[in-house]
Copies of this chain bind each other. A is one copy, B any other.
Amino acid sequence: MTVAGTDAFVDELRAHSRRYHDQHPFHARMNSGQLGARQIRGWVINRYYYQVAIPRKDAAILSNCPDREVRRRWIRRITDHDGTAPGEGGIEAWLRLAESVGLDRREVEQERQVLPAVRFAVDAYVEFARSKPWVEAVASSLTELFAPDLMARRLAAFERHYPWIDGAGLAYFRERLDRAPRDAEHALELVVDRCRTAEQQDRALAALSFKCDVLWSVLDAIDRAHPD
Protein backbone atom coordinates (compact mmCIF):
# COMPACT_ATOMS: atom_id res chain seq x y z
CA MET A 1 0.00 0.00 0.00
CA THR A 2 1.52 3.33 -1.00
CA VAL A 3 1.17 6.26 1.33
CA ALA A 4 0.34 9.36 -0.63
CA GLY A 5 1.70 12.71 0.50
CA THR A 6 -0.63 14.78 2.64
CA ASP A 7 -0.34 17.84 0.42
CA ALA A 8 -1.29 15.92 -2.71
CA PHE A 9 -4.23 14.36 -0.87
CA VAL A 10 -5.48 17.73 0.38
CA ASP A 11 -5.08 19.14 -3.13
CA GLU A 12 -7.19 16.30 -4.51
CA LEU A 13 -9.87 16.90 -1.88
CA ARG A 14 -9.91 20.62 -2.63
CA ALA A 15 -10.06 19.95 -6.37
CA HIS A 16 -13.57 18.59 -5.79
CA SER A 17 -14.66 22.22 -5.69
CA ARG A 18 -15.11 21.85 -9.46
CA ARG A 19 -17.92 19.38 -8.71
CA TYR A 20 -19.50 21.55 -5.98
CA HIS A 21 -23.07 22.66 -6.60
CA ASP A 22 -22.09 26.33 -6.81
CA GLN A 23 -21.35 25.41 -10.44
CA HIS A 24 -24.93 24.23 -11.01
CA PRO A 25 -26.97 26.31 -13.51
CA PHE A 26 -29.71 26.81 -10.91
CA HIS A 27 -27.22 28.42 -8.49
CA ALA A 28 -25.73 30.45 -11.34
CA ARG A 29 -29.19 31.82 -12.12
CA MET A 30 -29.88 32.40 -8.41
CA ASN A 31 -26.68 34.37 -7.97
CA SER A 32 -27.20 36.50 -11.06
CA GLY A 33 -30.73 37.43 -9.98
CA GLN A 34 -32.62 35.46 -12.62
CA LEU A 35 -34.89 33.43 -10.36
CA GLY A 36 -38.51 34.29 -9.72
CA ALA A 37 -40.20 34.07 -6.32
CA ARG A 38 -41.76 30.70 -7.16
CA GLN A 39 -38.35 29.25 -7.94
CA ILE A 40 -36.78 30.65 -4.77
CA ARG A 41 -39.67 29.21 -2.76
CA GLY A 42 -39.30 25.82 -4.43
CA TRP A 43 -35.62 25.84 -3.55
CA VAL A 44 -36.24 26.82 0.10
CA ILE A 45 -38.99 24.24 0.64
CA ASN A 46 -36.96 21.41 -0.88
CA ARG A 47 -33.68 22.37 0.68
CA TYR A 48 -35.45 22.30 4.07
CA TYR A 49 -35.52 18.51 3.74
CA TYR A 50 -31.72 18.58 3.56
CA GLN A 51 -31.44 20.93 6.56
CA VAL A 52 -33.51 18.71 8.86
CA ALA A 53 -31.49 15.66 7.81
CA ILE A 54 -28.17 17.19 8.87
CA PRO A 55 -28.39 16.65 12.66
CA ARG A 56 -29.52 13.07 12.04
CA LYS A 57 -26.55 12.54 9.71
CA ASP A 58 -24.20 14.03 12.32
CA ALA A 59 -25.72 11.89 15.08
CA ALA A 60 -25.08 8.82 12.90
CA ILE A 61 -21.41 9.84 12.70
CA LEU A 62 -21.32 10.23 16.50
CA SER A 63 -22.92 6.84 16.91
CA ASN A 64 -20.29 5.19 14.73
CA CYS A 65 -17.30 7.02 16.21
CA PRO A 66 -15.47 5.35 19.10
CA ASP A 67 -13.21 8.38 19.75
CA ARG A 68 -14.53 10.49 22.61
CA GLU A 69 -12.36 13.48 21.68
CA VAL A 70 -13.77 13.49 18.14
CA ARG A 71 -17.33 13.16 19.46
CA ARG A 72 -16.85 16.12 21.83
CA ARG A 73 -16.16 18.38 18.86
CA TRP A 74 -18.53 16.79 16.37
CA ILE A 75 -21.53 17.10 18.70
CA ARG A 76 -21.43 20.89 18.35
CA ARG A 77 -22.69 20.51 14.81
CA ILE A 78 -25.90 18.98 16.16
CA THR A 79 -26.32 21.73 18.71
CA ASP A 80 -25.68 24.34 16.00
CA HIS A 81 -28.45 22.91 13.87
CA ASP A 82 -31.00 21.99 16.54
CA GLY A 83 -30.25 24.82 18.94
CA THR A 84 -30.49 24.30 22.68
CA ALA A 85 -33.92 25.91 23.12
CA PRO A 86 -37.01 26.62 21.00
CA GLY A 87 -36.41 29.44 18.52
CA GLU A 88 -32.68 28.65 18.24
CA GLY A 89 -30.46 26.82 15.77
CA GLY A 90 -29.91 26.44 12.06
CA ILE A 91 -33.17 24.60 11.30
CA GLU A 92 -35.12 27.41 12.95
CA ALA A 93 -33.09 29.93 10.94
CA TRP A 94 -34.03 28.08 7.75
CA LEU A 95 -37.72 28.22 8.73
CA ARG A 96 -37.35 31.99 9.17
CA LEU A 97 -35.81 32.17 5.71
CA ALA A 98 -38.86 30.26 4.48
CA GLU A 99 -41.16 32.84 6.08
CA SER A 100 -39.08 35.64 4.56
CA VAL A 101 -39.65 34.27 1.07
CA GLY A 102 -43.39 34.07 1.70
CA LEU A 103 -43.82 30.45 2.73
CA ASP A 104 -45.93 29.17 5.58
CA ARG A 105 -43.77 27.57 8.27
CA ARG A 106 -46.22 24.73 8.88
CA GLU A 107 -46.37 23.93 5.19
CA VAL A 108 -42.59 23.68 5.05
CA GLU A 109 -42.42 21.52 8.18
CA GLN A 110 -45.00 19.13 6.75
CA GLU A 111 -42.54 18.29 3.92
CA ARG A 112 -45.39 17.44 1.55
CA GLN A 113 -43.94 19.41 -1.34
CA VAL A 114 -40.51 17.85 -1.15
CA LEU A 115 -39.65 16.32 -4.52
CA PRO A 116 -39.04 12.55 -4.67
CA ALA A 117 -35.53 12.95 -6.11
CA VAL A 118 -34.65 15.36 -3.29
CA ARG A 119 -35.79 12.79 -0.72
CA PHE A 120 -33.81 10.04 -2.42
CA ALA A 121 -30.59 12.08 -2.52
CA VAL A 122 -30.87 13.35 1.06
CA ASP A 123 -31.90 9.97 2.45
CA ALA A 124 -28.92 8.44 0.67
CA TYR A 125 -26.66 10.92 2.47
CA VAL A 126 -28.06 10.00 5.91
CA GLU A 127 -27.81 6.30 5.06
CA PHE A 128 -24.19 6.81 3.97
CA ALA A 129 -23.36 8.28 7.40
CA ARG A 130 -25.17 5.42 9.14
CA SER A 131 -23.61 2.58 7.21
CA LYS A 132 -20.09 3.68 6.26
CA PRO A 133 -17.02 3.97 8.51
CA TRP A 134 -17.26 7.26 10.37
CA VAL A 135 -14.11 8.72 8.74
CA GLU A 136 -15.70 8.34 5.29
CA ALA A 137 -18.83 10.07 6.54
CA VAL A 138 -16.62 12.87 7.88
CA ALA A 139 -14.92 13.09 4.47
CA SER A 140 -18.32 13.42 2.83
CA SER A 141 -18.90 16.58 4.88
CA LEU A 142 -15.90 18.28 3.27
CA THR A 143 -18.10 20.11 0.78
CA GLU A 144 -18.04 22.62 3.65
CA LEU A 145 -14.59 23.59 2.40
CA PHE A 146 -16.34 25.19 -0.56
CA ALA A 147 -19.42 26.53 1.21
CA PRO A 148 -18.19 29.91 2.49
CA ASP A 149 -17.53 31.25 -1.04
CA LEU A 150 -21.01 30.24 -2.15
CA MET A 151 -22.59 31.69 1.02
CA ALA A 152 -20.81 35.02 0.54
CA ARG A 153 -21.89 35.23 -3.12
CA ARG A 154 -25.43 34.20 -2.21
CA LEU A 155 -25.73 36.83 0.54
CA ALA A 156 -24.58 39.57 -1.84
CA ALA A 157 -26.91 38.27 -4.58
CA PHE A 158 -29.95 38.12 -2.30
CA GLU A 159 -29.37 41.64 -1.01
CA ARG A 160 -28.90 42.97 -4.54
CA HIS A 161 -31.34 40.99 -6.67
CA TYR A 162 -34.10 39.89 -4.32
CA PRO A 163 -35.00 42.97 -2.26
CA TRP A 164 -38.46 41.48 -1.63
CA ILE A 165 -36.82 38.99 0.77
CA ASP A 166 -36.47 40.40 4.28
CA GLY A 167 -32.76 40.60 5.15
CA ALA A 168 -33.44 39.15 8.62
CA GLY A 169 -34.34 35.92 6.86
CA LEU A 170 -30.76 35.55 5.65
CA ALA A 171 -29.35 34.88 9.14
CA TYR A 172 -28.81 31.21 8.23
CA PHE A 173 -26.28 32.10 5.53
CA ARG A 174 -24.49 34.58 7.80
CA GLU A 175 -24.12 31.91 10.49
CA ARG A 176 -22.79 29.34 8.05
CA LEU A 177 -20.27 31.86 6.77
CA ASP A 178 -18.65 31.70 10.23
CA ARG A 179 -19.27 28.10 11.13
CA ALA A 180 -18.57 26.24 7.90
CA PRO A 181 -14.83 27.10 7.95
CA ARG A 182 -14.53 25.99 11.60
CA ASP A 183 -16.39 22.75 10.86
CA ALA A 184 -14.48 22.11 7.63
CA GLU A 185 -11.14 22.65 9.33
CA HIS A 186 -11.95 20.02 11.97
CA ALA A 187 -13.21 17.56 9.37
CA LEU A 188 -10.16 18.07 7.14
CA GLU A 189 -7.84 17.56 10.12
CA LEU A 190 -9.59 14.27 10.92
CA VAL A 191 -9.56 13.00 7.35
CA VAL A 192 -5.88 13.84 6.83
CA ASP A 193 -5.00 12.29 10.19
CA ARG A 194 -6.95 9.05 9.72
CA CYS A 195 -6.57 8.43 5.99
CA ARG A 196 -2.92 7.50 5.54
CA THR A 197 -2.92 4.72 2.97
CA ALA A 198 -3.76 5.22 -0.69
CA GLU A 199 -6.83 3.03 -0.19
CA GLN A 200 -8.11 5.10 2.73
CA GLN A 201 -7.48 8.30 0.79
CA ASP A 202 -9.31 6.90 -2.23
CA ARG A 203 -12.30 6.10 -0.05
CA ALA A 204 -12.27 9.62 1.41
CA LEU A 205 -12.17 11.09 -2.10
CA ALA A 206 -15.02 8.81 -3.17
CA ALA A 207 -17.04 9.95 -0.15
CA LEU A 208 -16.56 13.58 -1.09
CA SER A 209 -17.53 12.81 -4.73
CA PHE A 210 -20.65 11.08 -3.46
CA LYS A 211 -21.58 14.14 -1.40
CA CYS A 212 -21.06 16.41 -4.42
CA ASP A 213 -23.48 14.12 -6.29
CA VAL A 214 -26.04 14.43 -3.47
CA LEU A 215 -25.99 18.23 -3.54
CA TRP A 216 -25.98 18.34 -7.35
CA SER A 217 -28.94 15.93 -7.58
CA VAL A 218 -30.94 18.02 -5.15
CA LEU A 219 -30.48 21.07 -7.39
CA ASP A 220 -31.18 19.08 -10.56
CA ALA A 221 -34.54 18.03 -9.15
CA ILE A 222 -35.41 21.54 -7.98
CA ASP A 223 -34.34 23.02 -11.33
CA ARG A 224 -36.40 20.55 -13.34
CA ALA A 225 -39.52 21.12 -11.21
CA HIS A 226 -39.21 24.92 -11.35
CA PRO A 227 -38.18 25.86 -14.90
CA ASP A 228 -39.63 29.35 -14.34
Tell me whether A59 is interfacial, beta carbon within 8 Å: yes
Given A59-B63, A62-B62, A63-B59, A83 and B72 contact (CB-CB distance below 8 Å): yes
A56 near B: Cβ within 8 Å?
yes
Chain B residues near A79: list those with CB within 8 A: 75
Given A52-B66, A130-B63: A75 in contact with B72 (beta carbons within 8 A): no
Q: Contact residues of A with B, CB < 8 Å?
A: 52, 55-57, 59-60, 62-66, 68-69, 71-72, 75, 78-79, 82-86, 89, 91, 126, 129-130
A-B contact pairs, 6 of them (CB 8 A): A52-B68, A56-B66, A59-B59, A63-B63, A68-B82, A69-B86
Q: Check A63/B60 contact, CB under 8 A, given A75-B82, A79-B75, A82-B71.
A: yes
Contacts of A86 in B (CB 8 A): 69
Given A59-B62, A64-B56, A66-B56, residue A82 in contact with residue B91 (CB < 8 A): no
Nearest B residue to A75, CB-CB: B78
Q: Which residues of B contact A71 (CB under 8 A)?
A: 55, 59, 78, 82
Query: How far, in whole Å, are A130 and B83 apart by their CA atoms in the complex?
Result: 23
Given contacts A71-B82, A75-B79, contact A59 B56 (CB under 8 A): no
